[in-house]
């Protein structure tokens, strides 16, 4: 099959809600999806983690790196702790995937399938051979947009006028309680040998590498559903509580915010990651706001405003918090690009939270020390 014949295989359309559209070639599943269109600047290494990160739930994700899929997809194997070994969750969580070029012939000793096959099996559509740079520039200048992605069968002719009508009827997923859709349904326990303490994770969309980071430090992990109350959590006798990352608007999560308020009030050691940082900030009396196009990538720099020390971090969020200082919290890290909040700590209580992802991968290892700091706050 020649290159031109391949490019004619399945037409695909990415339609923005304002009526602009991109026409390309479909891969993955043949279907139509809608969601919030966002971009990540993570490199070509990291697409597996991106696809399976629950924080991307209900989003159509653009990879700004030009060639994606080079090392294929590993098998769904479990590690010794019972976690899926190479992924951040048990399935692809993005609604759709946008790349400049999808590699169809990957090369890696752990690869068992191509990216195209992976998305097809998981029922997720993708589009390639579009100008992802031009698309990203639209979102950077105008902000993220809702849109739809449709992959057609071979030989079908896209109906642009119909898609322009349908895209106007898309509901904003951020109006929903998205954490409810990605959280565990019942408690899960991970018990390393010779454990030194116990952490309960309030699951708003946990990534497996967060759990691994605690297990490596000999911490028992109890993952509980998003709706667990303060009393239910404390009945599990934790040494500390972690509020996880996850998708959506933090102001929608009144129950987790109430839990965080009680944890603060009762001086319980607590850590927040990403959405967890926002939940704790709101519990502290702060306010949340939506970023124009979010912080998503594995190369985001944050800085300590006092020491001027920088860290390269992995990030994936569309919201931030501010105005939380009156309740005893201080800002300890800020984003070097726009000055938005990246971390908070309480001046007297054993509580810290970060807006980025300190877990082992994807991204740099600069901030793994935060798990050790959390354990120190528990005074085990």
- 184-202 pLDDT, tens digit per residue, is 999 999 999 999 999 999 9
**Res 25: pLDDT:** 96
**Res 364: pLDDT:** 67
Which pair of tokens denotes residue 2?
């020649």
Give the tens place of pLDDT for each residue, 329-363.
Answer: 999 999 999 999 999 999 999 999 999 999 865 45
Q: What are phi and psi of 170, to 5 degrees?
A: -70, 135
Read off the pLDDT of each residue in 40-69 and give the average, rounded to a whole number.
94
- Show the domains of the chain with their CATH numbers: 3-174 (3.50.30.20), 178-378 (3.40.50.880)
pLDDT band per the 50, 70, 90 thresholds, residue 9: confident
Does the pLDDT of residue 314 top 70, yes or no? Answer: yes
Distance CA 91, CA 274 (A): 21
Q: Which entry of 220, 342, 345, 359 is annotated as an active-site residue?
A: 359
Query: 142-164 burial, b for 16+ CB within 10 Å, e for fewer?
Result: eebbbbbbbbbeeeeeeeeeebb
Among residues 73, 101, 98, the alpha carbon closest in space to that of 87 is found at 73
Does the pLDDT of residue 1 top 60, yes or no? Answer: no
**Res 361: pLDDT:** 59
**Catalytic (active site) residue 359:** yes
**Res 43: pLDDT:** 83
**Res 5: pLDDT:** 43
pLDDT above 70 coverage of the chain, percent: 97
pLDDT band per the 50, 70, 90 thresholds, residue 6: very low
What value does the mean pLDDT of the chain take?
94
**Catalytic (active site) residue 357:** yes
Distance CA 12, CA 348 (A): 55
**Catalytic (active site) residue 274:** yes
Which pair of tokens denotes residue 53?
């990160």
Distance CA 358, CA 33 (A): 31
Angle at 12 between CA 21 and CA 173, to 5 degrees: 65
Distance CA 355, CA 322 (A): 12
What's the Cα-to-Cα distance from 334 to each of 128, 311, 312, 365, rounded to whole Å? Answer: 35, 10, 12, 18
Give the tens place of pLDDT for each residue, 200-258.
Answer: 999 999 999 999 999 999 999 999 999 999 999 999 999 999 999 999 999 999 999 99
Q: Which entry of 220, 274, 295, 345 is annotated as an active-site residue?
A: 274
Give the tens place of pLDDT for each residue, 105-163.
Answer: 999 999 999 999 999 999 999 999 999 999 999 999 999 999 999 999 999 999 999 99
CA 184 to chain CA mean position, Å: 16
Question: pTM for the whole thing?
Answer: 0.95
pLDDT band per the 50, 70, 90 thresholds, residue 366: confident
Read off the pLDDT of each residue in 165-181 and give the average, rounded to a whole number.
96
Give the tens place of pLDDT for each residue, 73-102.
Answer: 999 999 999 999 999 999 999 999 999 999
Among residues 254, 205, 171, the alpha carbon closest in space to that of 56 is found at 205
Is residue 107 classed as helix, strand or coil in its secondary structure? coil
Other Cβ atoms closer than 10 A to 102:
25
Q: What are phi and psi of 298, to 5 degrees?
A: -105, 15
CA 156 to chain CA mean position, Å: 34
Sign of CA dihedral 274, 279, 284, 287: positive
Place of tokens 């029922």: 123
Does the pLDDT of residue 69 top 60, yes or no? Answer: yes
Q: Per residue, what are the HEC states of 64-93?
A: CCCEECCCCECCCCECCCCCECCCCCCCCC
Give the HSE-up count for residue 172: Cα atoms under 13 Å, Cβ half-sphere.
6
More confident residue, 13 or 2: 13
Is residue 151 classed as helix, strand or coil in its secondary structure? strand
Q: Which segments of the chain are extended strands (E)?
A: 11-16, 21-28, 32-40, 59-63, 67-68, 96-98, 101-102, 125-128, 145-151, 188-190, 197-202, 219-224, 240-243, 270-273, 287-303, 310-322, 329-335, 341-346, 351-354
**Res 299: pLDDT:** 86
The two beta strands, 270-273 and 240-243, are parallel
């Amino acid at each position: 099959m020649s290159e031109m014949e391949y490019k004619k295989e399945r037409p695909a359309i990415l339609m923005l809600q304002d009526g602009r559209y991109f026409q390309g070639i479909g891969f993955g599943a043949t279907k139509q999806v809608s969601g919030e269109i966002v971009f990540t600047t993570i490199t070509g290494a990291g697409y597996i983690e991106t696809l399976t990160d629950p924080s991307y739930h209900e989003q159509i994700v653009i990879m700004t790196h030009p060639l994606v899929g080079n090392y294929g997809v590993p098998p769904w194997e479990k590690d010794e702790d019972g976690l899926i070994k190479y992924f951040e969750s048990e399935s692809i969580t993005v609604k759709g995937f946008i790349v400049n070029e999808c590699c169809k012939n990957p090369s890696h000793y752990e690869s068992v399938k191509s990216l195209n096959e992976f998305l097809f099996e998981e029922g997720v559509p993708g589009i390639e051979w579009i100008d992802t740079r031009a698309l990203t520039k639209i979102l950077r200048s105008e902000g993220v947009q809702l849109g739809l992605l449709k992959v057609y069968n071979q030989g079908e002719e896209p109906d642009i006028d119909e898609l322009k009508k349908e895209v106007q009827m898309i509901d904003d997923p951020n109006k929903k309680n998205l954490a409810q859709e990605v959280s565990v349904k019942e408690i899960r326990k991970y018990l390393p040998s010779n454990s030194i303490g116990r952490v309960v994770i309030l699951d708003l969309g946990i990534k497996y590498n967060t759990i691994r980071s605690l297990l490596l430090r000999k911490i028992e992990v109890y993952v509980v559903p998003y709706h667990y109350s303060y009393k239910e959590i404390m009945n599990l006798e934790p040494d500390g509580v972690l509020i996880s990352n996850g998708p959506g608007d933090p102001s929608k999560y009144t129950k987790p915010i109430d839990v965080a308020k009680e944890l603060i009030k009762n001086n319980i050691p607590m850590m927040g990651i990403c959405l967890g940082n926002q939940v704790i900030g709101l519990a502290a009396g702060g306010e949340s706001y939506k970023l124009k196009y979010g912080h998503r990538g594995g190369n985001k720099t944050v800085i300590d405003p006092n020491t001027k020390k920088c860290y390269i971090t992995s990030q994936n969020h569309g919201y931030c918090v501010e105005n939380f200082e009156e309740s005893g919290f201080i800002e300890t890290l800020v984003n070097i690009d726009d000055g938005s909040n990246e971390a908070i700590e309480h001046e007297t209580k054993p509580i810290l939270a970060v807006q980025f992802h300190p877990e082992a991968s994807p991204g740099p290892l600069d901030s793994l020390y935060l798990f050790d700091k959390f354990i120190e706050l528990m005074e085990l």
